[in-house]
Amino acid sequence: MKSFPLPDDPLLFGASSLAGVTAIEPCGDRQVVMFCGEGDTRREVMTDFNPFILMTSALAAECPVETTDVNVMQGSFPLDRLLFFSGMAKFQEARRWLDSKCPQKQGDPMAPYVVIKDPVQQFLLQRGVTLFKGMAFGDVRRMQVDIECITTPGYDFCNAEREGDRIVAIAMADQTGWVEVLNGATLDERGLLERFVSIVRERDPDVIEGHNLYNFDLPYIATRAQRYRVALAIGRDGSEPVQRPSRFSAGERTVNYTRFDIYGRHVIDTMFLAQSYDVSHRSLDSYGLKSVAVHFGVAAPDRTYLAGGDISHVFASDPDRLVDYVRDDVTETRSVSDLLSRSSFAQAQMLPFSYQDIALRGNAVKIDALLLREYLRLGRSLPQPSVGRPFGGGYTDLFMEGLIRNVHHCDVRSLYPSLMLAHQLAPSTDAAGVFLCLLDTLRRFRLEAKAAMREAATGTEKMELDALQSTFKILINSFYGYLGFSQARFNDFDAADRITREGRELLTSMVMWLEEHGAKPVEIDTDGIYYVPPPETADPVRQDAFRKAFAMYLPTGIEIEFDGEYAAMFSYKMKNYALLQHDGEMIVKGAALKSRGLEPFQRDFMRRFLRLRLEGREKELPRLKEEFSSALTGRTLPISALAKSETLSDSLTVYVRKRDKEGAAKRAAYELALTAKREYRTGDQVAFYVTGTRKNVAIHESCKLAADWDPQHRDENVAYYLAKLDGLYEKLGGPAETSRQGELF
């Protein structure tokens, strides 16, 4: 990996050749400290730092704050003065002046100035430094953390604010194979926390990792440490983490979380990495650790499994089993991180962000930072973004529904980037020509990384090069989205519109070619086509000839990849389908077929239904439905199969205000929490089920806490759950139908 020429191109990897930097932190008013890795040691290097603000010439002429230098940027764009300040105090003074002077607030892309608030990002932009340069992934010291807690009887989920819901195990591991579990059976909670802090300081990791680390483990540890007045001094300078509310977005999914910044270290949540992975792959059934580990094949066959509701009982009766469970959890987290965090590691060697920020930021923001760094290096003035407007989208279409046999998939490799390069489609404001140069450089380095991967001598080297080329691919495919991003400095909605128009025209012609040559298109989604090949291509030689003819048909610069053959496909609706691979594995894609809003028994029924249909066992579908109907009418399903869970994101006081004064709808979980004999707090999970005898009921009036369910006197609403099963069965198509119309949910 170290032989791969990462530092050779300042456009992509930054102009600085400084290697081994693992983290950067501001230090005082005028300096930053760089933590540099040299084998097993970490040393601190102090360097001076002058923060900057980019302004228009008119604004710069009026700035009353003393500067150390003013650079005049080349070009005709309005942002043409780069003002440097002697330290953060002067920088903040200039920011306050801008707030009073300009109607546009900081962060508004139309403001006549650009302020980078993060001093670390400023330093990286100025100096061309990137993290981990010259390092292999295995050189980074990564510590994984997982905790287990007991829950006060009567509640569904532990809450750090509740006195009795204490931590009873803390497991830690790292990339060397070391694992240690702190056992609450031999240490009280204060002792667990103090020992945890001590181990972090002793082992001195560059990165702390965990699954759901932001929204569970770290907030829980911090809250319990505060209860016992244990200083959570896990920063490299002995400081405690800084917490603030933040939001993470992956595709259409947005998650509120508590961000933790630990001095000199990075925090990586593998649950967020899994969500980012799923944006492009759409293959994960759940983002929970157990499901993700199984999906990636890193779950040990003999690992210990425990249900969340059993933790308290197992700790009281068999604490050694709980130790085994949390040890398996933390080692699975390490394995998941080994796979998913390599892309962020590779990006850290290129981008002017901290490693932690790279795992949290969107791709358009990353491309913007690459462009900004190069414009600053070239001393070029910057434009203001274009005002957003609607523009045409990609081509999606559904040609066949229901069950289809022998389905193949082809994908136009980087369709939009290929069109950009072939037709030189770039932002009109990119006077320096950086956009297409950067795109072409990324493509060239990806090809070189793929070639090096094929020749790699070791499995580790192959994995790192694969992560690198995959990272290039992700960034390459984001260039089109950047053009249509309203916050992007060099956005261009006209260019984005032209690219999608040419993409639609190309894909339409491809569909026509397939139909003219005897193939049957099933679905097309932006750059990929599912189709049934002509019957005569069952012979491998003829199939190869068919594919070569298809590829030859495409214009110069457009390449096609045939990347999937499936025994069957159940096409439900656009972007919602199930695939059966020839090895028997089933792939389900689309929110309608993977809805997390269903009760667990419905999700189980749906997966079994889809498998029977894909395997051609439709005659067994009525029996499957009867099995579930009998379980419901016979009241043999566990309450966990019927209950839904909801997290109380608002306090009960806030909910009542919204309900009574703002007209918000009543919600079952909150109504139950209000009338419960136990006290519920913000962050608690409430599991509930529906009671009654009629299928049409108001849920908030006919619900009950799952914790209050009595297996000796079952009162679940059989009619309600049977109606849900009937509706799902009908909308999926039933045994006799091969297609249907309408929405599933």
How far is residue 428's CA from residue 32's CA, in Å, rounded to a whole number?
A: 37
pLDDT > 50? residue 2 = no
Q: What is the pLDDT of residue 432?
A: 96
Nearest residue to 188 via CA among 170, 208, 161, 162: 170
Show the beta-strand stretches assigned E in 283-373: none
pLDDT in tens, 195-242: 999 999 999 999 999 999 999 999 999 999 999 999 999 999 999 999
pLDDT > 50? residue 61 = yes
Q: What is the pLDDT of residue 735?
A: 59
Q: What is the pLDDT of residue 710?
A: 93
Q: What is the pLDDT of residue 6?
A: 54
Q: Which residues of 78-107 are buried (b: 16+ CB within 10 A; e: fewer)?
A: bbbbbbbbbbbebbeebbeebeeeeeeeee
Among 33-47, 271-285, 367-381, 682-696, name the one with the lowest average pLDDT: 271-285
Element (H, E) at 165: none
Confidence of residue 741 (pLDDT cuts 50, 70, 90): very low
Contact 355, 344 (CB under 8 A): yes
The percent helix, strand, coil of the chain (3-state, each to 5) is 45, 20, 35
pLDDT > 80? residue 341 = yes
Percent of the chain with pLDDT over 70: 97
How far is residue 591's CA from residue 376's CA, in Å, rounded to a whole number?
A: 42
Q: What is the pLDDT of residue 19?
A: 93
pLDDT > 80? residue 3 = no
Q: What's the Cα-to-Cα distance from 510 to each of 239, 396, 497, 540, 558, rounded to whole Å?
A: 60, 13, 20, 22, 12
179 forms beta bridges with: 173
Percent of the chain with pLDDT over 90: 75
Show the beta-strand stretches assigned E in 472-527: 520-525
- What's the chain's length in residues? 745
pLDDT > 60? residue 7 = no
Token pair in block for residue 646 = 């909801």
Contact 4, 455 (CB under 8 A): no
Cβ atoms within 10 Å of 617's Cβ, excluding its own? 13
pLDDT in tens, 633-682: 999 999 999 999 888 888 899 999 999 999 999 999 999 999 987 788 77
Mean pLDDT of the 431-444 span: 93
Write down the H helix ranges in 520-620. Answer: 540-553, 600-614
Domains along the sequence of the chain with CATH: 6-134 (3.30.342.10), 137-346 (3.30.420.10), 385-426+492-594 (3.90.1600.10), 597-732 (1.10.132.60)
167 forms beta bridges with: 149
How far is residue 196's CA from residue 130's CA, in Å, rounded to a whole number?
A: 31
Contact 256, 236 (CB under 8 A): no
For the purposes of burial, counting CB atoms within 10 Å of the CB of 226, is it exposed (0-12), middle (13-18) or buried (19 or more)? middle
Q: What is the pLDDT of residue 404?
A: 96
34 forms beta bridges with: 24, 45
Q: How far is CA 437 from the centre of its chain?
A: 28
Token pair in block for residue 314 = 């197992």
Write down the H helix ranges in 379-433. Answer: 415-423
How far is residue 604's CA from residue 596's CA, in Å, rounded to a whole number?
A: 12
Q: What is the pLDDT of residue 307?
A: 86
How far is residue 181's CA from residue 165's CA, in Å, rounded to a whole number?
A: 19
Contact 300, 328 (CB under 8 A): yes
Confidence of residue 591 (pLDDT cuts 50, 70, 90): confident
Confidence of residue 1 (pLDDT cuts 50, 70, 90): very low
